[in-house]
């Protein structure tokens, strides 16, 4: 191997070794408000669960309680999931974040018994998406 080729190879190895730590990949997940919301919602039984039990079932106070005329209440829980994937280079980063936010509404009658449960599923099984351009 000639001296010139050896020098070029040595420079490439040194530059590559210096740049390698500057490259990176990151995956992040954020759960919003409630851990395992669908399991918790499944524990609420219409006609059986009482208003006093809701905080224990969900593990937190509701996001808001809305009066429903004439004498009912709507307990609103907001929850969600967010997943971010990132590939980083020195000055160029590619990132994709998927976020799904939902609400669960539990209607409680005047006697404090759950009358109805409705919930969204936008954040259920939220996928990781690795390609940051286009797609859903």
The DSSP code sequence of 43-59 is T--TTT-BHHHHHHHHT
**Looking at residue 22, what is its pLDDT?**
65
Is pLDDT of 90 > 80? no
Is pLDDT of 20 > 80? no
Alpha-carbon distance of 134 to 136, in angstroms, equals: 7
Q: Is the pTM of this model over 0.85?
A: no
**Looking at residue 117, what is its pLDDT?**
97
Q: What are phi and psi of 87, to 5 degrees?
A: -120, 120
Say whether 4 sits in a helix, a strand or coil: helix
Is pLDDT of 37 > 70? yes
Alpha-carbon distance of 9 to 6, in angstroms, equals: 5
The string of pLDDT tens digits covering residues 92-117 is: 888 888 899 999 999 999 999 999 99
Is pLDDT of 18 > 60? yes
């Amino acid at each position: 191997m000639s001296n010139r080729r050896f020098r070029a190879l040595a420079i490439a190895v040194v530059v590559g070794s210096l740049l390698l730590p500057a490259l990176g990949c990151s995956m992040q997940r954020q759960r919003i408000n409630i851990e395992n919301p669908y399991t918790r919602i499944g524990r609420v039984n219409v006609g059986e669960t009482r208003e006093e039990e809701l905080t224990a079932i969900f593990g937190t106070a509701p996001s808001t309680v809305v009066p429903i005329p004439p004498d009912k209440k709507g307990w609103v829980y907001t929850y969600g999931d967010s997943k971010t994937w990132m590939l980083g280079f020195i000055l160029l980063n590619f990132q994709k974040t998927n976020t799904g936010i939902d609400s669960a509404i539990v209607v409680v009658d005047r006697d404090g018994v759950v009358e109805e449960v409705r919930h969204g599923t936008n954040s259920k099984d939220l996928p990781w998406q690795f390609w940051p351009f286009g797609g859903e």
